[in-house]
């Protein structure tokens, strides 16, 4: 019994103490101990060991199966989890509310909403009625894949089936309103959250702050933000981004400083993306450089592509093109289209043909179907009176059948 307690403790603590129990897999053991071992290995990410123990179990049960399935899904291997479930069905072990929900959530998190929806429908075929967790997983999958109409439709179906949404459901659906600036639907969901009492949940309120901020309703976002007695990192970041993206740069910097003062532990990489974006909009080069340095030195946050894109944009807007290019060359990872795009835009603004050509060359490799970058370079050649290169670019674009896609924006009709 003490041995089993040790296994469970290992699982809960998520500590890497699996090696102590390697000897166990050499012996036969009952379903109870086997399930504890499988759960321990799964939660520690030792999925091969978890599957090995599961395969060696003489009497397999749903507890052990769900532990392995959960482990696979949590580590992005939902396909392997599905294969295991299908294998177990062949030997008479039928999945329950937990197995199916884990699979639906696993494929949803991977961005495979088609498979998540298919499994959702198969639940009823197998005599299992989807619960709120199942519905929420499918809605979340649609939102993550920008299929917002399907997300709203599924939410309506959920209500029609008499399933009461939870705070997780509401916070999963609200980003769809922000993505299409669908404030009307957002307000309806907000009202529903108030009526059902889930509005007070920190995740729901954070999603509401994010939704109102992205839709440009800063006053509403700020009102909700100030009412919250408990704030998580998402709440702070959403409000800072909202301020930054709508021109309230002073407020964004003040809120960032307040966030550091109140709970320095809440700062994450997105916090610095938000505040560096603010620096870009206001041209605060020295503050931006200071924040970029402190991010790693003081907070232990390694710069990502988003941070480098912000810094290149910040330096480029100020005309420090050489410094911006030097930063790109010193990056520990391959620059993406946002980084090169920031340099190209700055080179265009300051008439630096040499750097513009370098940036455009890399962009053409990253985005071979895009015409916008070539048009920007063509405009720069035209400004410099280099009509030979203008003609060359236009001929190349025509040959590759590249054309600029028309822009669009979302507005809400009254």
Contacts of 365 (CB under 8 A, 6+ apart): none
pLDDT in tens, 194-237: 888 888 899 999 999 999 998 889 999 999 999 998 888 999 99
Q: What is the pLDDT of residues 319-350, one digit of tens each?
A: 999 999 999 999 999 999 899 989 988 988 89
Query: In this model, does residue 256 exceed pLDDT 90?
Result: yes
Q: What is the pLDDT of residues 1-45, one digit of tens each?
A: 444 434 444 544 444 444 444 444 444 456 677 777 877 887 777
Q: Quote the tokens at residue 340.
A: 């090169």
Structural domain boundaries in the chain: 304-402
Provide φ and ψ at 43, rounded to 5°: -70, -20
Instruction: Return the CATH number of the domain spanning residue range 304-402.
Output: 1.25.40
% of the chain exceeding 70 in pLDDT: 80
Sorted by sequence, the CB contacts under 8 Å of residue 90 that are 6+ apart come out as none
Per-residue pLDDT tens over the stretch 93-107: 788 878 888 888 888
Cβ neighbours of residue 241 closer than 8 Å, sequence gap 6 or more: 210, 213, 214, 274, 277
Percent of the chain with pLDDT over 90: 28
Higher pLDDT, 56 or 315: 315
């Amino acid at each position: 019994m003490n041995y089993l307690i040790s296994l469970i403790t290992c699982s809960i603590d998520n500590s890497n103490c699996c090696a102590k129990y390697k000897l166990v897999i050499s012996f036969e053991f009952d379903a109870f101990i086997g399930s504890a071992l499988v759960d321990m290995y799964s939660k520690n990410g030792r999925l091969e060991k978890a599957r090995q123990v599961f395969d060696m179990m003489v009497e397999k049960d749903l507890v052990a199966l769900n532990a392995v399935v959960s482990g696979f899904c949590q580590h992005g291997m939902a396909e392997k989890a599905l294969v295991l479930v299908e294998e177990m069905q062949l030997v008479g072990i039928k999945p329950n509310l937990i197995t199916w929900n884990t699979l639906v959530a696993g494929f949803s998190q991977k961005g495979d909403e088609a498979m998540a929806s298919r499994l959702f429908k198969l639940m009823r075929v197998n005599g299992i009625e989807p619960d709120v967790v199942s519905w929420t997983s499918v809605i979340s999958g649609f939102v993550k894949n920008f299929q917002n109409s399907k997300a709203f439709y599924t939410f309506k179906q959920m209500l029609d089936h008499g399933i009461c949404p939870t705070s997780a459901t509401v916070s999963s659906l609200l980003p769809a309103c922000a993505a299409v600036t669908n404030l009307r639907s957002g307000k309806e969901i907000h009202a529903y959250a108030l009526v059902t009492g889930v509005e007070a949940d920190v995740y729901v309120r954070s999603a509401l702050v994010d939704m109102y901020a992205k839709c440009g309703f800063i006053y509403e976002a700020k009102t909700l933000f100030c009412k919250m007695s408990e704030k998580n990192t998402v709440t702070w970041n959403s409000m800072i981004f909202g301020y930054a993206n709508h021109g309230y740069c002073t407020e964004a910097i003040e809120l960032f400083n307040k966030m550091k003062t109140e709970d320095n532990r809440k700062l994450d990489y997105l916090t610095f993306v938000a505040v560096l974006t603010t620096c870009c909009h206001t041209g605060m080069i020295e503050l931006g450089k200071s924040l970029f340095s402190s991010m790693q030195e003081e907070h232990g946050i390694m710069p990502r592509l988003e941070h480098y894109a912000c810094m290149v944009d910040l330096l480029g807007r100020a005309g420090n093109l050489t410094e911006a290019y030097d930063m790109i060359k010193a990056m520990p990872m391959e620059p993406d289209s946002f980084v090169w795009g920031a340099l190209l835009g700055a080179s265009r603004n300051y008439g630096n043909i040499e750097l513009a050509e370098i940036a455009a060359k890399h962009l053409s490799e990253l985005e071979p179907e895009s015409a916008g970058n070539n048009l920007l370079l063509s405009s720069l050649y035209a400004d410099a009176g280099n009509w030979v290169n203008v003609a060359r670019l236009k001929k190349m674009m025509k040959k590759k059948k590249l054309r600029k896609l028309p822009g669009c924006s979302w507005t809400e009709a009254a």
